[in-house]
Structure 1
């Protein structure tokens, strides 16, 4: 069975609607939670209690959104390692790769990265009592956001940070109807070495952790 381009486009539509790395209806994105989890923060957008069968096949997905077209995730070796990681995670759960013509379900995935520049007003306290932004005044009415500079003028205190956020979206799709039966979104901060196979294996296993086991024979 060949999957025509029109059907691949139908598979792509719900993925694009998700926005991949942008918060949208049904696709949450929590940078704070993601930064605290080495393998990312996974949201199972469309859960399932059972899968159609044991056999799966990957289908190629076009890179359309800007985060997907970033050169850092267009590297062919990286993409091959990531699909290998997803392959290993699926087989560890008891699924088996088959020819697309015999697949019980298709595996579609997208990956993207984007750079984030955060600017936030400082509201942190020093110790248990004195607000950082209130160091230059005294009393309980000190502002936590505004201080005086060396010239005596009021200024707002800011913290800035730069990071790279990554996202991996995986869908399991019925071949005949092109209906999505399971979908998960993994988002997190990209750190040096994330493209190493061991790290990708951890990300893939974490992303697919809530995928149901294959049906009993």
Structure 2
């Protein structure tokens, strides 16, 4: 793992939580895998024992990891109900996806506007690289979906507001559970359209246009809602 280069507007604990969450959602730390030991994280990340323990506690509360005493900490399968309250209500299917999108509309539109004002050049570069990977022609649907989750988490991180970051971590965790339970029915059919929408959001962020960032995010989520409603109509 890479050593943490902290955004000083975030606490070391929050930074570690965000970094590990992104690795989990990107599949770099797959379900069932064991996290590095506390000592390894301390050495490789350059953080204190307290920071590591607080980060592990938050990841457990979010239902992303579980600690098996005497064995270690493991990434949980986000497709099963976890400790996070939202995931307890996941039944699966397009209707759950609509409920999550409704929440995202109330959260992510404003987050995009704030991110446009606060994103660092390093954060924008990381976002650019993630988008390029997800936009590649040989990217699978699963890879593209995970890049989308990571992209939205990165936007939350750019707000430098720990409440937005925590909320989006929860939402991303639940959304993965919804998609895994619903299967192909919720998979975006028109990838080219989704890529274009994400690029519009990124362009607004890069030019520091908060109003355009909000509008682009709102359009992206509304279009996503319409695509899911189309799936519901086809399967009704």
**TM-score normalized with structure 1 length:** 0.30
Write 1 or 2 for the structure with the bigger share of strand: 1
**TM-score normalized with structure 2 length:** 0.28
Bigger relative contact order, structure 1 or 2 (CA pairs below 8 A, ≥6 apart): 1
Larger radius of gyration: 1
